[in-house]
Amino acid sequence: MAEPLKVVVTGAAGQIAYSLLYSVAKGDVFGYDQSLELNLLDITPMMEVLNGVVMELQDCAIPLVKKITATDDPNVAFKDVNAAFMVGAMPRKDGMERKDLLKANVKIFKAQGQAMDKVAKKTVRVVVVGNPANTNACILSRYAPSIPKENFTCLTRLDQNRAQAQIAARLGVTTDKVTNVIIWGNHSSTQFPDVAHAKVELNGQVVPVPEAVKDDNYLKNDFIKTVQQRGAAVIKARKLSSAMSAAKAACDHMHDWFVGTKGSNWVSMGVISDGSYGIKEGLMYSYPVQIKDKKWSIVQGLSINEFAREKLDATAAELDEELEAAVAECTD
């Protein structure tokens, strides 16, 4: 069995982590022959709950898990880690101004970034799940300057999975038959779910999704709105935010990063923009990426029509404004 991988999960006493930890522990993410050491981080008032989570993990009796460390100290949590699921963040509460949310999250991700910079492996792969995920990932990277910027990503796979599921249901196929859906931009209601380049396998034939759906009005309106507002719809129905689906998406994201994408398929990840598709450099922006040898690269050369251009720019403008507001809260 391979040497244990060290994996940290923050916000480990919370709902998303509760679903995430079992999948990670049993091998769904890093492989069924890859042993693990799990570091679980949460705030001091949550330590009793976190100890309960540790008990449950122990009671799962999973052979891959060699060690579990529960802590409220980022310097302990990030020590020598290979992979980081950054789930913990300050959620927006009723009456909270956006700037207050950004300020609270800057404080959290500054402290965690500094600890990561000091004690994590420089090869650590990081996915930020806690919202506002794109901007939180930028702040984390800012305070961990010794770790390459391309090692910081944020989760938009949940949006991709949602979009894929909507198309699959519309066409009466299973989700694995739908490929190359793209989420552009911010993990927010301005994101752009794009199926212009997506494909679907129907009756043994692979065809473009727009050709299969045959309803441009649906693809430009209801489909986009459904995906954009799916998180709010879950909260309305469940009275709690998405947890199981967010955990599954975080696992998908990290699995593909470590294992790679297949053939000409791509996945959506929030990554640091290099200026591709006219998006400002330095923004944490969701792009279609292909992954090989644990390195992602943005898929180039996709045609962007006028409708898509407008959507790409709108979500970029929101991200730019959000990052500027967050950076204004940084006191280096």
**What distance in Å separates the CA atoms of residue 210 and residue 195, rounded to the nearest whole number?**
7
Q: Among 112, 129, 154, which residue terminates a domain?
A: 154
Within 13 Å and on the Cβ side, how many CA atoms surround 54? 18
Binding-site members are 42, 92, 98, 105, 129-131, 162
pLDDT tens digits along 315-328: 999 999 999 999 99
How many separate domains does the chain show?
Answer: 2
Task: List strands edge to edge, sheet with 205-208.
Answer: 178-179, 199-202, 205-208
| 1 confidence band (pLDDT: 50, 70, 90) | low
pLDDT for 78 equals: 98
Domain match, 306 and 317 both: yes
Asked if residue 330 belongs to a domain, the reply is no
Q: Against a cut of 0.85, is the pTM above it?
A: yes
Catalytic hit among 187, 197, 253, 255 = 187
Number of H helices, E strands in the chain: 12, 14
Q: Indicate if 216 and 258 belong to the same structural domain.
A: yes
User: Are 107 and 230 in a shared domain?
Assistant: no
Q: How far does CA 239 lie from the centroid of its chain?
A: 22
Q: Same structural domain for residues 306 and 282?
A: yes
CA gap 295, 10 in Å, rounded: 23
Range of the domain at 254: 156-323
Nearest one of 260, 328, 315, 322 to 293, comparing CA atoms: 260
Q: Mind listing the pLDDT tens digit for each residue in 37-76?
A: 999 999 999 999 999 999 999 999 999 999 999 999 999 9
Residue ranges of the annotated binding site for substrate are 92, 98, 131, 162
Over range 25-39, report the average pLDDT: 97
CATH number of the CATH domain containing 123? 3.40.50.720
Express each pLDDT in 271-301 by its tens digit: 999 999 999 999 999 999 999 999 999 999 9
The three-class DSSP label of residue 72 is coil
223 φ/ψ angles, rounded to the nearest 5 degrees: -60, -50
Gap between the Cα atoms of 130 and 17, Å rounded: 11
**Cα 292 versus chain centre, distance:** 18
Q: Are residues 120 and 222 in the same domain?
A: no
Give residues with Cβ within 8 angstroms of 156, minimum separation 6.
133, 183, 187, 191, 268, 269, 270, 286
What amino acid is encoded at 275 in this protein? G
Active site residue 187: yes
Summarize pLDDT for 92-134 with one digit per residue, the tens. 766 667 678 888 899 999 999 999 999 999 999 999 999 899 9
Which residues carry a binding-site annotation for NAD(+)? 42, 105, 129-131
Do residues 193 and 88 share a domain?
A: no
Measured N-to-C along each axis, helices 157-171 and 244-259 cross at an angle, to the nearest 10 degrees, of 100
Task: Measure Cα distances from 131 to 92, 101, 191 in Å.
Answer: 9, 9, 14
Same-domain status, 99 and 45: yes
219, 181: one domain? yes
Clarify whether residues 185 and 309 are in a common domain: yes
pLDDT of 90:
86
For residue 244, being part of any structural domain is answered with yes
* Alpha-carbon gap, residue 107 to 112, rounded angstroms: 9
Q: Please give the Cα distance from 326 to 142 (Å, whole number).
A: 11
Could you say which of 123, 154, 185 is where a domain stops? 154
Q: What is the CATH number of the domain that holds 265?
A: 3.90.110.10
Structure tokens at 257: 């990063």
Q: Give per-residue pLDDT as tens, 199-234.
A: 999 999 999 999 999 999 999 999 999 999 999 899
Last residue of a domain, one of 154, 186, 202: 154
* CB-based contacts of 77, cutoff 8 Å, min separation 6: 8, 10, 39, 40, 41, 69, 71, 115
Cβ-based burial of 275 (10 A; exposed 0-12, middle 13-18, buried ≥19)? exposed
- Shared domain check, 182 and 122: no
Average pLDDT of the chain?
A: 95
